[in-house]
Amino acid sequence: MSAEIIAIVLSAVGLFLTLGGTMVAGFAWCIRRSDSLRTDLVGVETSLGVRIDGVEQRLTARIDGVEEKLTARIDGV
């Protein structure tokens, strides 16, 4: 084999290893990023759950108040 063919083969192997390493590193970064996003979403989900529960309680109280007023008005008439 000539020196040019050996140089081409070594260059191709080096390029293949570089691209493969870059792809593995990129995939690892995506996995790490999605794990941190999931951790952030747990906190958001908890705070939203608390807010939704508060709104639900206030809405229930408001509906009950309106129902009592209507019942009193209907019974009073």
List pLDDT tens digits, range 59-74.
Answer: 999 999 999 999 888 8
pLDDT band of residue 77 (cuts 50, 70, 90) is: low
At residue 64, what are phi and psi to the nearest 5 degrees?
Answer: -60, -40
pLDDT digits (tens, 9 = 90+) for 11-59: 999 999 999 999 999 999 998 888 777 777 777 777 888 889 899 999 9
- Rounded to two decimals, what is the model's pTM? 0.45
Q: Is the dihedral of CA 40, 41, 42, 48 positive or negative?
A: positive
Sign of the dihedral through C-alpha 10, 15, 16, 22: positive
